[in-house]
Structure 1
Amino acid sequence: MIGLINNTSAVSASAPIRAAQYLRMSTEHQRYSTENQAGAIQDYAAKNNIEIVRTYSDEGISGLTFEGRPGIRKMISDVESGNADYELILVYDVSRWGRFQDLDEGIYYMHHCKKAGVRVEFCGERFQNGGDIGSKIQLLVSNSSASDYSRVLSTKVHMGQTTLIKKGFRQGGPAGFGLRRLLVDDSGNAKFQLRRLEHKSIQTDRVVLVPGPPEEITVVRRIYADFIERGLTEQQIANRLNWEGVHTDLERPWTRSTVRQVLTNEKYIGNNVWNRRSFKLKTKRVQNDPALWVRADGVFESIIDPKLFNAAQKIIATRSHRPDNEEMLNALQRVLQRHGYLSGLIIDEADSCPSAGAYQSRFGSLLRTYKLIGYQPDRDYRYVDINRRLRQQYPGIITSIVSRVHETGARVRNDGASSMFIVNEEIRASLVLSRCHISTAGRKRWFIRFDTGLCADITIAARMEPEEACIKDFYILPALDCSGEKLRLFENNASELDVYRFDTLDALYHLVKRTRIKDII
């Protein structure tokens, strides 16, 4: 053992010095195993009349930071709080104390221990553990060497991972919905698919991505079709999948972000892309510039046509554009000039204008937005009250319909809050309440909005009387005959629409009523 000790170098017959040992092992060298460190520290203690009374350890943990190491955190806490029943801390060498990228950080924690009356000594270093200028310089050099080792190792690892990515091998992380990880040997021959949380055990083995189960691939392709062809949002797609009981690859409900990940990750068109984000040397995680991404195109079997993928990216880029205040107000001014007045409904129906909700979020309220363009509304207050009354009536109408369906002997499923209910696990029905609009000429209008994200088989549109006091009648509209997102109804409509008009919902209850087969034989 080369390491020397300052005040305890000579073994005396006095009581041994009480000490704690700190052990840390990452994964890079077997020589730094905690057993080897403990053995070297024990030899050092025996030669210097030191008794080890406590052990702190961090196994399999990087030494780049202090925060991620519970062992050293507990030790420093014991020392600073006065709970340490020892006066010395033994560490194998400076690199085990830490490979802090800020050299002052490692010395800072040593100084805290010293102030509390506990010294830190290194058993395997070539310098004395004293307080002289020579020891301090050598300690600084050892700290710098430990820090540089991590930087060099990080660079080498990054270069190695870059090479593997360009060769088409996957570097960590789950495969994702619709894909699976396939283990291959060093010659590229397939071995077997890895299940979730399984990892390769042979260093020369590699991982590639392959298409997953057909039912998952079908869902992925439907996500693209819903987004591109049907114009559904990510949240609408997530709601639809959750309603159907489809879970993500992690067996969790779909969210807007998980659908967005399917729509934006190039692995679905066979590209291997890495280094989008960096977390080097435990520093702050950052989003890298696309110029720094490492990629290999077309190395996996694609499950999405690149043309569809590119179309989705264009839609996302368009939707992500955030207009400034002037753009939003100018768009609203154009809508006002076209219609002569404004309301939340008119704003939502204008294709060239952000939604009414966007204006409320940006400017605080629609009324405040109107003032900014010099418009004084005279009817919006009334619509606020009408919408409130509609929302209050909605739960009662749903409950009444569900109760009547139950009375027919049919099964019905509804969570009590949503507009969708499923009858006999066969028919998906959605309820829409449509308020009565009175035009300047005194004519009545009703606007039916279809929630395409629900994928209902039937939409029950309840037309309300003026002032929304009660329901005027119902339209039972099948999805096959009613395409689009909205429908305008007048007091008298074409026969092809009025064929779906009913004064009550008795026709619906008759449709879902269950009948015993023996009763009709």
Structure 2
Amino acid sequence: MDWFNSGKSFKYRAVAYYRHSAQDRQENSVEIQQDQVRQFARDHDIEIIREFIDRGKSGLSTEGRDGFNEMIHDYVERGQEAFEIVLVLDVSRWGRFQDTDLSAYYKGHCAMHGKQVVYTSLGFGEQDNLMFSLRLDIERFQAANYSRELSTKVFKGCAKIAEQGFRAGGMPPYGFHRLLLDEQRKPVQVLERGQRKSIQNQRVTLTPGDPDEIAVIERIFKEFVKWESTPKQIAFSLNKQRIPSPGGCQWSPSSVMAVLRNELYAGTMVYNKTTQRLKSPSHKNPMDEWIRTENAFPAIVEHKLFDRAQEILFEAEEERRVKYSAEDMLDRLRRVYEQYGTVRASLVAAEKEMVSVATYAKRFGTIGGAYQHLFEEVIDSRRAEVTQTIKQLVHETEEYGDFIVLRNYVSVRIQPVIPFPLGYEEEWTFMPEVRPEIDITLGVPLSNGGKYDVLGYLFFPRIMAGGRRIRVSANTADRIELHAYSLKQAMEDLIGLEVTA
């Protein structure tokens, strides 16, 4: 920097960092920061060898702060030039990190590389001085809290504007233009992309925009309500005519649904559907937190037509909710089992009213897992019977939720399984437990044919079998017994002690 190259020798060499965001007041401008930091450098015999600047950048994180990141990577870490100090006007210019430990982290990171961060508003200070450290922590909290308070104020202001029926910000949706209103709420002009209001008391509302886009919106509602077309069919017809979607791409069922659900097309201003503040992830808000103002601007779609579309969507959603509920899915699967005496993926796929095999797998793990749920009452009954028998054999048995502990020595989860029909054979599929509090899964294969007798007992230690599906198949009960024990003998072998006869 030519301004300080006087040829004299200095006591210290430093780099300086300046940051100014769009929300900062004028007194925090880069030029004012430079004046104060340079004066501090002159007063303390410091030569500034390089200045790094981030204009219009938020201090909530280091993302997008090219000046800060260059300073850290090239000068602090890699030592591109020799220096001892990093000069910053104050803690807020360093960053308004919501986690104040991050502010301390970057300062400590510089210290690890032999560079001292000096906030010129605080001076050098004594690093081991309690009061200086406390003041630094307070400054970090205040820097972070300023952003939180500003965010709250901005939200309240936007919410008030939305309650009055005006646009709080953002680009206009498909089919609309932004209309600027003066202080008397009279139209001034349609705002083009990138244009903003210039007077604080002016307001922005929505007005019907491109006639071609309006025609597409009206067509979507009419086809959906009057012609009873599905969103998929509507998207297909629009794409067939090469009509671009709001994003300029092809229409999809989801983009058609977005139009059908958008209350703006009925003239209702909606705000606060989602929340995203201070670099946090965006999330959807519950409907009772939405800010809605009806008849805020001219509607594109008649209220009667829009309301009927919402009724159809609600009815379809209810039908879908019932169809994909666990109870309904199991009822449908039970009908297939009762009709064919078995359950196979091909049978499920062939039935028109069934949901897909993949949906069963997503809900129940596998189609076999869904099949087991058809016999929940039987499985729960057999589990209770086995548990009671074990309690009679091993008196020191305690129940803990869905497993038992024998003599404070070993924990056991009892897993009765109904055989899955596979042509002329049957298969039992066990899922040994992976939870660390359960040592052994006790597999209990049951017979079918309406009796559901216990055929034997299989032990699956967690450390050997946990997390793997184990399939056992047999033509007769005799073969299954070759892999099992009587319950009394199994308990004796398991706990290493004689059990009660």
SS where residue 90 of structure 1 aligns?
strand
Cα deviation, residue 190, structure 1: 0.7
Superposition TM-score, scaled by structure 2 size: 0.64
In 1: Cα distance, 2:221 partner to 2:423 partner: 41
Residue 174 of structure 1 corresponds to 171
Aligned ranges for residues 6-405 of structure 1 at < 5 Å? Answer: 15-27=10-22, 28-78=24-74, 79-83=76-80, 85-125=82-122, 128-131=124-127, 132-304=129-301, 305=303, 306-315=306-315, 317-318=317-318, 321=321, 323-334=324-335, 350=352, 352-354=353-355, 358=359
* Secondary structure of the structure 2 residue equivalent to 1:174: coil
| Cα distance change, pair 297–375 in 1 and its aligned pair in 2 (3 A) | farther
Give the distance between the partners of 1:164 and 1:328, measured in 2 at CA: 47
**For 1:183-241, what per-residue CA distance to the aligned partner results, in whole angstroms no more than 9, with x for missing partners?**
11122111122233433333332211112233322211222233344444434332322
Label 1:202 to 1:268 Cα distance change in 2 as closer, same or farther (>3 A). same
Displacement after TM superposition at 1:63 (Å): 1.0
Q: Encode CA deviations 1:311-343: one digit per residue, 9 max, x unaligned.
A: 244145336527244421312444676899999
Partner residue in 1 for 2:394: none
Judge conservation of contact 1:335–1:347 (CA < 8 Å) in 2.
Answer: no
Percent identity at matched positions?
35
Deviation at 1:96, TM superposition (A): 0.6
Mapped to 2, the partners of 1:272 and 1:76 lie a distance apart of: 45
For 2:429, the equivalent position in structure 1 comes to none
Residues 348 and 354 in structure 2, CA contact (< 8 A), matched pair in contact too: no
Cα displacement (A) at 1:22:
0.7
**In 1: Cα distance, 2:100 partner to 2:48 partner:** 28
The separation in 2 between residues aligned to 1:174 and 1:316, in whole angstroms, is 31
Cα distance in structure 2, aligned partners of 1:348 and 1:222? 35
TM-score (norm 1): 0.62
Residues 320-371 of structure 1: CA deviation (Å, up to 9, x unaligned):
5272444213124446768999997996774x54356745776799899899
Question: Counterparts of 2:54 and 2:316 in 1: how far apart (Å)?
Answer: 45
- C-alpha separation in 2, matches of 1:357 and 1:227: 29
Q: Is the 8 A contact 1:87 1:118 kept in 2?
A: yes
Distance in 2 (CA, whole Å) between partners of 1:255 and 1:20 is: 53
CA distance in 2, matches of 1:160, 1:184: 17
Unaligned runs of 5+ in 2: 1-7, 375-419, 425-501
Farther off after superposition, 305-314 or 106-115: 305-314
Contact kept, 8 Å, 1:370 with 1:377, in 2: the verdict is no
- Residue by residue, what CA displacement relative to the aligned partner does 1:53-73 show, whole Å, maximum 9, x if unpaired? 122222111112233423222
Counterpart CA distance in 1 for 2:237 and 2:163 is: 37
Mean alpha-carbon deviation: is it higher for 338-347 or for 110-119?
Answer: 338-347
Letter in 2 for 1:308: R
Partner of 2:243: helix, strand, or coil? coil
Return the alpha-carbon distance in structure 1 between the equivalents of residues 346 and 179 of structure 2: 52
CA contact (8 A) 2:85 2:116 kept: yes
Note closer, same or farther for the CA distance 1:298–1:309 as it changes in structure 2 (3 Å cut): farther
Bigger mean CA offset, 190-199 vs 165-174: 190-199
Q: Provide the secondary structure at the position in 1 that maps to 2:49.
A: strand
Matched residue, 1:10: none
The answer to whether the Cα contact below 8 Å between 2:110 and 2:116 also exists between their aligned partners in 1 is yes
The answer on whether the counterparts of 1:348 and 1:356 sit within 8 Å (CA) in structure 2 is no
CA contact (8 A) 2:348 2:356 kept: no
State the match for 2:453 in structure 1: none
Q: Residues 249-283 of structure 1: CA distance to partner in whole angstroms, max 9, x if unpaired?
A: 34333233322221222111111111111112222
Shift of 1:92: 1.1
Unpaired runs of at least 5, structure 1: 1-12, 379-521
Q: Residues 486-520 of structure 1: CA distance to partner in whole angstroms, max 9, x if unpaired?
A: xxxxxxxxxxxxxxxxxxxxxxxxxxxxxxxxxxx
Q: CA deviation at 1:245?
A: 1.1
Pick closer, same or farther for the CA change 1:325–1:302 going to 2, 3 Å.
same
Q: Give 1:77 shift.
A: 2.2
CA contact (8 A) 2:224 2:309 kept: no
* Distance 1:291-1:372 versus aligned 2 partners, 3 A rule: closer
1:245 to 1:359, Cα distance in 2 relative to 1, 3 A: same
Aligned to 1:499: none
Say whether the 8 Å CA contact 2:357–2:367 is kept in structure 1.
yes
State the distance in 1 between where 2:145 and 2:218 align. 48
Q: Is the 8 A contact 1:348 1:354 kept in 2?
A: no
CA RMSD of aligned residues (A): 3.3
When structure 1 is superposed on structure 2, of 216-225 and 324-333 the one drifting more is 324-333
The offset of 1:20, in angstroms, is 0.9
Aligned residues: 364
Conserved in 2, the CA contact under 8 Å of 1:347 and 1:353? yes
- Contact between 1:348 and 1:355, CA under 8 Å: does it hold in 2? no
